Amino acid sequence: MSGCPSFERKLQTFQKRSAQVDNGDDAQAGCNKATKGGTVYGEYLQLDKIVAAQLLQSERKGKKVHDEHLFIVTHQANELWFKQILWELDSVQQIFMKGHVRDERNMLKVVSRIQRIAMIFKLLVQQFMVLETMTAMDFFDFREYLASSSGTQSLQFRLLETKIGVPECQRVPYNRRHYRDSFQGKENEILLKSEQEPTLLQLVEKWLERTPGLEKDGFNFWEKLQANVEEGFRSETRKLDQKPKSEMKKEIMEDLQKRKMVFTSLFDEKCHNHLLSKGERRISYKALQGALMIYYYREEPRFQLPFQLLTSLMDIDAFMTKWRYSHVCMVHRMIGSKAGIGSSSGYHYLRSTLSDHYKVFVDFFNLATFLVPRSWVPRLNPSIHKFLVTAERYDSSYCSEDSD
- Per CB under 8 A, contacts with other proteins among 142-201 are 146-156, 168-177, 181-182
Of residues 26 and 217, the one with the C-beta less far from other proteins: 26
Kindly identify the residues of this chain, within the stretch 321-350, that bind other proteins according to CB under 8 A.
339-346, 348-349
In angstroms, give the least distance from the CB of 140 to other proteins. 11
294: amino acid identity, one letter:
I
Beta-carbon-side half-sphere exposure of residue 205 (alpha carbons within 13 Å):
17
Instruction: Give the list of residues 6+ apart from residue 334 with CB closer than 8 angstroms, or none.
Output: 134, 136, 139
Of residues 147 and 227, the one with the C-beta less far from other proteins: 147
Selected from 218, 279, 301, 336, the binder of other proteins by CB under 8 A is 279
Instruction: Give the list of residues 6+ apart from residue 300 with CB closer than 8 angstroms, or none.
Output: 380, 388, 389
In 3D, which of 340, 305, 286, 254 has the Cα closest to residue 104? 305
Q: What is the DSSP letter of 174?
A: B
Q: Does 73 bind other proteins (CB under 8 A)?
A: yes
* Count of residues in contact with other proteins, rule CB under 8 A: 114
Burial environment of residue 225 by CB neighbours within 10 A (0 to 12, 13 to 18, 19 or more): buried
Long-range contacts from 177-182, C-beta under 8 angstroms, 24+ separation: 179/152, 182/152, 182/153, 182/342
Spell out, one character per residue from 95 to 134, where the chain touches other proteins: x when CB under 8 A holds, - when not.
-----------------x--xx--xx-xx--xx-xx-xx-
In angstroms, give the least distance from the CB of 207 to other proteins. 20
Of residues 11 and 371, the one with the C-beta less far from other proteins: 11
Selected from 4, 8, 11, 254, the binder of other proteins by CB under 8 A is 11
In angstroms, give the least distance from the CB of 92 to other proteins. 11
Beta-carbon-side half-sphere exposure of residue 170 (alpha carbons within 13 Å):
21
Kindly identify the residues of this chain, within the stretch 345-404, that bind other proteins according to CB under 8 A.
345-346, 348-349, 351-352, 355-357, 403-404
In angstroms, give the least distance from the CB of 132 to other proteins. 8
In angstroms, give the least distance from the CB of 326 to other proteins. 13
Kindly identify the residues of this chain, within the stretch 208-247, that bind other proteins according to CB under 8 A.
none
Of residues 163 and 351, the one with the C-beta less far from other proteins: 351
Kindly identify the residues of this chain, within the stretch 27-56, that bind other proteins according to CB under 8 A.
27-47, 49-55
Instruction: Give the list of residues 6+ apart from residue 358 with CB closer than 8 angstroms, or none.
Output: 161, 166, 170, 320, 321, 324
In angstroms, give the least distance from the CB of 348 to other proteins. 4
Say if CB 222 and CB 286 are below 8 A apart: no
Of residues 27 and 371, the one with the C-beta less far from other proteins: 27
Q: Does 311 bind other proteins (CB under 8 A)?
A: no
In 3D, which of 285, 292, 257 has the Cα closest to residue 270? 285
In 3D, which of 149, 134, 119 has the Cα closest to residue 315? 119
Give the number of other CB atoms < 10 A from CB of residue 256.
14
In angstroms, give the least distance from the CB of 175 to other proteins. 5
In angstroms, give the least distance from the CB of 298 to other proteins. 22
Bridge partner residues of 174 (DSSP): 177
Region from 69-77, 214-222, 282-290, 301-309 binding other proteins, contact rule CB under 8 A: 69-77
